[in-house]
Each structure stands twice: as structure tokens, then as C-alpha cells.
Structure 1
Amino acid sequence: MIVKHLDHIVNTEDDIDTSTWNSRRLLLKKDGMGFSMHDTLIKAGTETSIWYRNHVEAVYCVEGEGEIEVVDGETYPIRPGTLYALDGHEKHLLRAKSQMRMVCVFNPPLTGREVHDPEGVYPLIED
């Protein structure tokens, strides 16, 4: 059994802070679950260009408001209770009107070292 608390992740190497988001990485590849899980804060007033070319991601919003725009596609509002799943590796723009708190799940699981490259892609890191 794995038991963790967010308090033990914050301000460690598993707490990744960028100019537009802060990902507190709760479960990682090393935990052996076949997916990774993150408690992520999207900073108010920001826009992040993302393309998970190597991963699929499901995101559940628990706090805040914003929107996700699929590049060359639709724009969807995000508010608490919204789930979106990037099952087609969609390039997208994530915009936060207010700080959003999201629970994110990735497959394949992240190792914890990933950050977006210039195209918004997380590299596929094999340990």
C-alpha cells in the first residue's frame, strides 16, 4: 500500500513550479501503479501551450475557472467538477481565469523530471 500526503510533497523535488503551473507529483513511475497522479495548480491569468504527444492525460478540476482550447478546434469552459481527457494527444491551450486546482493522471506515468519542451511536449523518459 502507498500512503502519501500533499504536505510531504510540497517543497521537495516532486514539487515542480513553473511560470504558469505548479505540479505536486503524488504518484510517479517509480511507484509502479502504471499511471502517475498530480495535484496541479494552474496560475491565475496564465496561458500554457501543451501537446502531450507521448502521453494521454485526464484532468479533473476541483477549484477555479478557466478554459481549454483545442488548437484548430473547440474551446471548453473549465470549472469545479469539469473533467477533460486528452485521449487523442490534442494540442491545446490551457487558460486560467483564476487559480485552478486540478487532479491530473498520466499514462504512461511520469518519472517526475518532465517539464514542457518548446512545443509543449513532455519527453518520454525511460528509466
Structure 2
Amino acid sequence: MIVRTLEQCRNSERRVVADNWESVRMLLKDDNMGFSFHITTIYEGTETHIHYQNHLESVFCMSGTGEIEVVDGKTYPIKPGTLYILDKHDEHFLRAHKNTDMVMACVFNPPVTGQEVHDENGIYPLVD
């Protein structure tokens, strides 16, 4: 059994910080579960380009508001209780509204190793 707290993970190398977001990777590839689990905060008033060509992701909004715009032009509001699933490696822009961070619970398949950040195309590398 694996037991971890968000606070333990936040105060370790499992917390990865970028310009627009931070992600606490609570479950990683080396935990051998077949997926990874993150608590990610999207900073207020930011826009992040994301295109996970190597991963599928499900995201559940726990707090804050914003929107996700898929490159096909559709925009969906995000608020607490919203789940979106990037089941087709959907290229998108994720925006948090001003004056509110969005806190999201994220599941990745395949799992990430822990230190990934988006490259210039919004992609996480696939690490074997």
C-alpha cells in the first residue's frame, strides 16, 4: 500500500513549478500503478498551451474558474465539479480567470516520471 499526503508531496521533489502552473505529482511511473496522479494549480489570469501527444489525461476541477479552448475553436467553461477528458490528445489552451487559481486533480496515462514540463509545443516527453 502507498500512503502519501498532499503536504508531504508538496514539500518534496514531487512539486514541479512552471511560469503558469505548479503540479504536485503524488503518484508517478515508479509507483507501478499504470497511471500518474497530480494536483495541479493553474495560476490566475494565465493561459497555457498544452498538447499531450504522448499522454491521455483526465482533469477534475476542485476549485477556481476558467476555460479550456480546443484548437478546433470550441471553448468550455471550467468550474468546480467539471471533468474534462483529453481522450484524443486534444491540443488546447487552458485559461484561469483573473483573481482565481484553478486547482485540478489530474490523471495521466501513461504515467509521468515526475519532472516533466511542457516543451515549446505544449508536450510532455514520453520517458521509457
TM-score range, shorter chain: over 0.9
2: distance between equivalents of 1:55 and 1:73? 22
Q: How many residues align?
A: 126
Letter matched to residue 52 of structure 2: Y
> Which position in structure 2 is the counterpart of 1:24?
24
Normalising by structure 2, what TM-score? 0.97
Matches within 5 A, 1:3-82: 3-82=3-82
> Which position in structure 2 is the counterpart of 1:119?
121
2: distance between equivalents of 1:113 and 1:10? 13
Structure 1 consecutive aligned stretches of length 4 or more whose deviation exceeds 6 Å: none
Gaps of 5+ in 2: none
Letter matched to residue 54 of structure 2: N
2: distance between equivalents of 1:117 and 1:99? 22
Q: Secondary structure at the match of 1:22?
A: strand
2: distance between equivalents of 1:95 and 1:46? 6
Normalising by structure 1, what TM-score? 0.97
Cα deviation digits, residues 40-90 of structure 1 (max 9, x gap): 100000000000000000000000000000012300000000000000001
> Which position in structure 2 is the counterpart of 1:109?
111
1: distance between equivalents of 2:72 and 2:47? 16
Q: Secondary structure at the match of 1:9?
A: helix
> Which position in structure 2 is the counterpart of 1:87?
87
User: What is the CA distance between 1:11 and its match in structure 2?
Assistant: 3.1
Gaps of 5+ in 1: none
The CA RMSD over aligned residues, in Å, is 0.6
2: distance between equivalents of 1:64 and 1:17? 19
User: What is the CA distance between 1:113 and its match in structure 2?
Assistant: 1.7
Cα deviation digits, residues 67-116 of structure 1 (max 9, x gap): 00001230000000000000000100000002000000000000002110
